[in-house]
Structure 1
Amino acid sequence: MQEFLTIALIHLVAVASPGPDFAIVVRHSVSFGRRAAMYTSIGIGLGILIHVAYSLVGLSVIIQTTPWLFKAISYVAAAYLIYLAVGALRSGPAPASNQPLTDEPVHSQAHKMPARKALWTGFLTNGLNPKATLFFLSLFTAVIDVNTAFTTKLGYGIYLSVATGIWFCFLSYLLSTSKVARFIGDKGYWLDRTMGVLLIALAVKLVWS
């Protein structure tokens, strides 16, 4: 129980800190509305299972002892973040509309993202996130005891996946409530562009570090 509580606390701090996952959920919530952001959040939660899988089978040790492999992952992730950032930076104001405001941002109603694409984007954003790789490298080598049973470790991984998905689903809901949507209004594309700049900064940081 003490080990689980330690993991839960570390995870809470990690998932709440700004990063690619946070940026893409905010972007999708502002640009495409609650539904797309929810599917993106679920995709992020599923992406956690990638890190759990390689940690359980010992690939984390290979990544940790093979610098070029981790560097290659970082470059791939940086390229993907820039790809997402370009789409965010190209966002513009929504077409004029006389429709009343709903629970989603005004401009999101004109551009719907398919559920599968939102899910896949969230999955790739987390799965290719070196920050998450570092987190799981640390978690499975420094926090979780080497003698902990495989089934227990698997349970930890499932918890981290579910907890991550729930957290970002909550964030998606919060960002798409009527009050927040009204606050964002038809100027939400500026927040979208800000997220684009943040994604580029994260990509540069990955390559630079």
Structure 2
Amino acid sequence: MTWQTYGSFALFALVVTLVPGPDFAVVVRNAVSGGRRRGLASTAGVICSSAIQGTAVALGLGAVIVASEPLFVTIKWAGVAYLLFLAVQALRSAMRATDVHAPLAGTAGGGRAVIRGLRQGFISNITNPKVLAFYLAVLPQFLAAGGQSPWQAVPLALTHAAISALYLALVVVAVHRARWVLSRQRVRRWMDGLTGAAMLGFGVRLAAEGP
């Protein structure tokens, strides 16, 4: 693999990362409701899961999971259920004033809030079969045909995870800097409603896709 090939993959990964998806919605939701620490914890959960899935695909385990239709379908529906669960939580918060009075702050939330953000980010990503499908479709295209060690795909997978980490961290920082606006009750409720609707849409779209 040449530096030119690596640069092409990094550029492609950046473009893909900039397209909002379930991970983006989950991280924004956590940053809005729990502050910077919880948003960054959610980002860490997403990245850990993405790195695990990318490495699994590079080593051939991802193809085994996708080839096993019952397992793949189970992961898919687990992802659908979790996205809908998070969507309902967000929409309930949007309809209730009790969850939007607390001000948004960089240090908001203790250890339990951080763990909750980490857990939500990890589960939302690990139960998304489209992540495995993405790595299976993309990684081989950036490796020379023939005689390639599976480990040569690992740096590509980790590069995508690193790009995603940087992007999502910048999103969390942007949300934190806008806390003087987001701490307003009406704005917080609108944000909860929007992120809840987005996660609901992602869940429904995932459910509608085959297999």
User: TM-score, length-normalised on structure 1?
Assistant: 0.84
Which one of 48, 51, 63 corresponds to residue 49 of structure 1? 51
Question: CA offsets per residue over residues 47-94 of structure 1, 9 Å max, x none?
Answer: 112212321221232344444443332111101111111111111335
Question: Is the Cα–Cα contact under 8 Å of residues 58 and 151 in structure 2 kept in the other structure?
Answer: no
C-alpha separation in 2, matches of 1:189 and 1:110: 19
SS of the residue corresponding to residue 114 of structure 1 reads helix
Q: Give the equivalent residue in structure 1 for 2:192.
A: 192
Q: Measured at CA, do residues 11 and 161 of structure 1 come closer, stay the same or move farther in structure 2, by a change above 3 Å?
A: same
Please, which of 173, 183, 200 is the counterpart of residue 181 of structure 2?
Answer: 183
Q: Does 1:171 align with 2:171?
A: yes
User: Which position in structure 1 is the counterpart of 2:131?
Assistant: 132
Residue identity in the other structure for 2:129:
P
Distance 1:47 1:174, change over 3 A: same
Alpha-carbon distance change, 111 to 4 in structure 1, aligned in 2, over 3 angstroms: same
Cα deviations by residue, 1:110-152 (Å, 9 ceiling, x for unpaired): 8985212211211111111122122111122333335444443
Aligned positions, number: 202
Question: Is the deviation greater in 187-196 or in 29-38?
Answer: 187-196
CA distance in 2, matches of 1:103, 1:87: 21
* Structure 1 residue 206, shift from structure 2 partner: 0.9
d(CA) in 2 for partners of 1:56, 1:34: 32
The change in CA–CA distance for 1:95 and 1:148 in structure 2 (over 3 A counts) is closer
| Shift in alpha-carbon separation, 1:112–1:54, aligned structure 2, 3 A | closer
Change (3 A) 1:145 1:70: farther
CA contact (8 A) 1:63 1:69 kept: yes
Cα distance change, pair 189–145 in 1 and its aligned pair in 2 (3 A): farther
Write the letter of the residue equivalent to 1:157: A
Identity percentage of aligned residues = 25
- Check whether the contact 1:29–1:176 (CA below 8 A) recurs between aligned residues: yes
With normalisation by structure 2, the TM-score equals 0.83
Q: Partner of 2:16 in structure 1?
A: 14
The one-letter code of the counterpart of 2:121 is G
Secondary structure in 2 aligned to 1:145?
coil
What is the RMSD of the two structures over their aligned residues, measured on CA atoms?
A: 2.6
